[in-house]
Amino acid sequence: MSGQDPIAAFRVEAGELLDATEQALLDLSHDLESRALIDTVFRGMHTLKGSGAMFGFDALAAFTHHCETTFDSVRKGLIPATAELVALTLAAMDHMRTLVDDRDGSSASAVGEDLLARLHALLGNAHASAATLSDGEEASRVGPAASCLGHQSWHVTFRLPSDALTNGTNPLILLDELRDLGGTNLAVDLSAVPPLDELDPTQCHLGWALDLPASVTREEIEDVFIFVIDDMELSIEAIGNQAEAVGTSGDALPASEDLPIKNSSQVVPVAEARGSPLSRPASESVRVPADRLDLLMDRVGELVIVQSRLAQLTSNGVSGPAGELALRSISEEVERLANELRDTMMVLRMVPIASLFGRFRRLVHDLARETGKSIELETDGESTEIDKTVSERLADPIVHLIRNSCDHGLETEEDRIAAGKSPSGRLRLSAQQAGGEVLITIEDDGRGISRERVRAKAEANGLIQPGQVLSDSELLQLIFQPGFSTASQITNLSGRGVGMDVVKRTIEGLRGNIDMTSEPGKGSVITLRIPLTLAIIDGLLVRVGNGKYVIPLAAVEECLELSLEEDIRSRGRSMIQLRERLVPFLRLRELFATGTRPDPYQKIVVIATGGERVGLVVDQIIGSHQTVIKSMSSLHRSIPSFSGATILGDGGVALILDVVQLVALGQSHEERLRAAG
Amino acid sequence: MQQDENLAAGSATPWDDNGQLEVLTFDVGDERLAVEAVSIREILDLLPETPVPGAPDLVASVVNFRGKIIPIADLRVAFGMPRNPAEEAHPDHRIVVIETEIDGEPLQIGLRSDKVHEVTILDRADSSEPPVLGMRWRREFVRELVRQPGSVIVIPNLPTIFTSLAEAA
């Protein structure tokens, strides 16, 4: 814990607490009678209030206090839990999030006041008595602090627990903090230092005394000692005389007699003074289950053992068959460990997709209210794990897809009944792992995608020629074209015509794929195929001229041989026939200008993204290759054909082909040919 | 002492207070170049290079440098020298790995060199800014020329060379 900013830690924890409480609230909206859920919500708020106050988030604590009081009334059966209350509380949770980010909350206090007013209105008389009670409580809580105000300075004496140094507490840091608060007249108390022969240097024998100005609050002083306060001796005495000493902080505290909400906004000066040096952005952190760390530790331990074996072997000299055998066994051991370390390391970066899905429950809840439709969200496969970075980058595209489904896909209640469906629309979000990929499907049982409207729209936007023959999947792929939107009415949910192409690009940026099927009247299914990790992929190693290249295996459909006569025949058109379909192909040898003669038996690797296929003509297919992706320097990043590079077993470098770019290149090549002939 | 310190933005040679600069000197083609010793990371024997199709001539290939993929630059392109026609490896050939900052991003680049000489101290008194006339090279590519007995050492302006030749492509 030492070294970590406690405020940042609180923010992380509060975020998780809010998430959990929000989930409970959403569950509660389906089951308003559940006592367990009401208790969970109440406990969540209670904890938030307590820890908020402890870390100086006074606005948050004050605001949360009222929501907590409300749920206390619900818990005691004074008022019923209603859908309206849940919705209002959800809005209040949003406000709490603001207050967690923005400690003084001054920018949003109007929102808070409005929310509280609505809560009060909702609770009516049942709440009135509780409110006065709570105000009384608050006043008494603040009371002692207020009574300490009439003084000129503080005299603080403290002595750390004797084991403080072993626990990682650094008294120098504490003293620095006290100095920052304006501490003066620092004196060391050496009375407890034992004679030299009994001195244990790992124990803390010193005590300190110092004076602090009155402008510092008691809480601020206690904050300095927050991690040791339970075990230490600390006395904080107010010294000097009353009267004129009502200083800067004096303005803030008498407000506690006022309405609590005003109180929260007026505590600002103190909070600001304290908050400013700490308001730097929190660095990103990952929570790792301890057993995974243990696993990693085991592997590292084994690695150290193997290393010492190797050192021993080299010092004894590797000679004779016995030495060679020993060396070989070490090599195998290292190989196994490297594999295991890689796997363990990758697992460390994995988070269950539940954290991602959790956010969408709230979204669907809000969307249902906004559109007036009744929508049920089902989730499945929430324990599927996915790389943390991938999970974060997936959030926005999925939000967009869900909005589209709710807005365009699902019908209103009347339309659904007229179509003979259940009154409430069903949205299903599921995840499953398949090989090195995670499949995420977003499925709705709405009206499906109208091919006629897609076609009409694409023709109107000039994406296709009128009457152009397109396969069904080609037609559906049009939705992902830039500037395409089928909503004839623009709502604030979706329909701005930006989005689906951005979704597609984001997914492809994660080296994933997006596929869509849709049955008119029955609904649509969108499938996202996302690789498990961004760092390592399975690749197909090929040779073009003298260079070696890696094609991501996930994109490879099949490998064929390009016979000599077919090669000659196809000179003019660069198309091959593949099961009744013409597939354009690119001669990588020409594209990369290798200046070498083609191998007599060239191969075609057919790659695909979405429904589009392109063949790549290579000289030789070497085989599959576990590819650790390395990025290229900024000097090479603008070259479109490559997405990165990797290091081969012999230390050489192979470039990784950018499948999306090559397919686009092949398709435009094909279009030029079509246009020409 | 007649240099104009503000030849171009970012091109000031970091002479120390005594007007000296520690550099590594090496040959590229017929010219002897000098790069500040502090920016040198390593001097390598030739490594197997991987050409990058479609890359600018200046940085036409990459190598594996301790697990990182770094570009290999051929400064002959910047100074209009004929590229080694046979591309034959000579035992003196080396790759000088430098670290420089381009567009605010630190970047390691390998410079192909025909022969690496020594780490030496250059004196500001011997240096002059590139002449306006009489040079085959683009003037902004040269930060300073330093006279030595019997020769001239060129201090190239690497950030300018890389931004104009590598990123324009």
CA dihedral A175, A177, A183, A185 (to 10 degrees): 10
Residue B168 has pLDDT above 80, yes or no: no
CB B1 within 8 A of CB B125: yes
- Whether residues A653 and B64 touch (CB distance < 8 A) is answered with yes
A215-218 long-range contacts, CB within 8 A, separation 24+? A215/A182, A215/A247, A215/A248, A215/A249, A216/A154, A216/A181, A216/A182, A216/A249, A217/A145, A217/A249, A217/A270, A218/A145, A218/A148, A218/A154
Of A593, A630, A635, the CB nearest to B53: A593
Q: How many residues does chain A have?
A: 677
Shortest distance, CA B1 to any CA of chain A (angstroms) = 36
d(CA B80, CA B77): 5
Tell me if chain B has a CB within 8 Å of the CB of A232: no
- Segments in chain A below pLDDT 50: 1-3, 125-149, 241-282, 487-497
Distances (CA, A) of A555 to A454, A611, A653, A668, B96: 27, 11, 21, 19, 38
Query: In chain A, what residues touch B164 (CB-CB under 8 Å)?
Result: none
Backbone phi, then psi, for A669, in 5-degree steps? Answer: -60, -45
pLDDT of residue A105: 62
Tell me if chain B has a CB within 8 Å of the CB of A642: yes
State how far Cα A231 lies from the chain centre: 37
Query: In chain A, what residues touch B59 (CB-CB under 8 Å)?
Result: 635-636
pLDDT of residue A12: 81
Nearest chain B residue to A650 by CA: give it.
Answer: B48
What average pLDDT does the segment B147-155 reach?
88
Residues of chain B whose beta carbon is less than 8 angstroms from a beta carbon of chain A are 47-48, 50-56, 59, 62-64, 67-71, 102-103, 105, 107-109, 162, 166-167, 169
In this prediction, residue B33 has a pLDDT band, given cuts at 50, 70 and 90, of very high
pLDDT of residue A243: 39
Cβ pairs A/B, distance under 8 A: 74
Count of C-beta atoms within a 10 Å radius of residue A294: 10
3-state secondary structure of A382: coil
Nearest chain A residue to B162 by CA: give it.
Answer: A635
- Whether residues A639 and B52 touch (CB distance < 8 A) is answered with yes
CATH code for the part of the protein at B20-166: 2.40.50.180
pLDDT of residue A549: 93
- Whether residues B55 and A652 touch (CB distance < 8 A) is answered with no
State how far Cα A171 lies from the chain centre: 37
- Whether residues A642 and B63 touch (CB distance < 8 A) is answered with no
| Structure token pair of residue A361 | 């429950």
pLDDT of residue A151: 60
Backbone phi, then psi, for A269, in 5-degree steps? Answer: -50, -45
Q: Tens digits of per-residue pLDDT, A117-142?
A: 888 777 764 444 444 444 444 433 33
Shortest distance, CA A592 to any CA of chain B (angstroms) = 5
Buried-exposed string A104-132: b where 16+ CB fall within 10 A, e elsewhere: bbbebbebbbebbeebeebbeebbeebbe
Query: In chain A, what residues touch B53 (CB-CB under 8 Å)?
Result: 547, 591-594, 639, 641
Query: In chain A, what residues touch B166 (CB-CB under 8 Å)?
Result: 635
d(CA B59, CA B46): 15
Nearest chain A residue to B73 by CA: give it.
Answer: A635
Best CA proximity match to A487, nearest among A401, A411, A408, A415? A408
- Whether residues B107 and A655 touch (CB distance < 8 A) is answered with no
CB A428 within 8 A of CB A378: yes
CB A400 within 8 A of CB A503: yes
pLDDT of residue B111: 94
Query: In chain B, what residues touch A594 (CB-CB under 8 Å)?
Result: 53
Q: Tens digits of per-residue pLDDT, A312-352?
A: 888 877 777 888 888 888 888 888 888 788 778 877 878 88
pLDDT of residue A262: 38
Tell me if chain B has a CB within 8 Å of the CB of A640: yes
CB B34 within 8 A of CB B142: no
Query: In chain B, what residues touch A655 (CB-CB under 8 Å)?
Result: 50, 52, 62
pTM of the complete model beyond 0.80: no
Interface test with A, best of B58, B64, B109 (most A CBs within 10 A): B64
Shortest distance, CA B162 to any CA of chain A (angstroms) = 8
Query: In chain A, what residues touch B44 (CB-CB under 8 Å)?
Result: none
Best CA proximity match to A247, nearest among A217, A209, A285, A292? A217
Query: In chain B, what residues touch A661 (CB-CB under 8 Å)?
Result: none
Give the strand pairing for B61-65 and B115-123. unpaired
Tell me if chain B has a CB within 8 Å of the CB of A633: yes
